[in-house]
Amino acid sequence: MELIVEAQDFEQASMSNMSTSDRVSASREAKRLILALNEVYKTSKDEEIMDLMKRLTAKKKKIEIRLKGRP
């Protein structure tokens, strides 16, 4: 599963010292990966994929908080 490996690489990537445009592209990449993993999860119902999606969602939320600012 190339998609799972790609998602794990994204999860392990460092997000420090990123410019705003890097954060925007990282957020879009996370969204793409989450949606693609969701399609795989619909057919397989594998808990490992669900856990990976949850971790990617948490990382995406952190990136978006940094982009939008704290309320």
Taking the chain (71 residues) in runs of 10, the rounded mean pLDDT of each run is 87 87 92 93 91 93 88 72
Total domains present in the chain: 1
| pLDDT recorded at residue 12 | 87
| pLDDT recorded at residue 13 | 85
Domain of residue 44: give its range.
2-8+18-68
Please check whether residue 13 lies inside any domain of the structure.
no
Please check whether residue 51 lies inside any domain of the structure.
yes
CA separation, residue 1 to residues 7, 12, 29, 65 (Å)? 10, 17, 17, 30
Q: Please state the pTM of the whole predicted model.
A: 0.86
- The type of residue at 4 is I
| pLDDT recorded at residue 38 | 93
| pLDDT recorded at residue 69 | 81
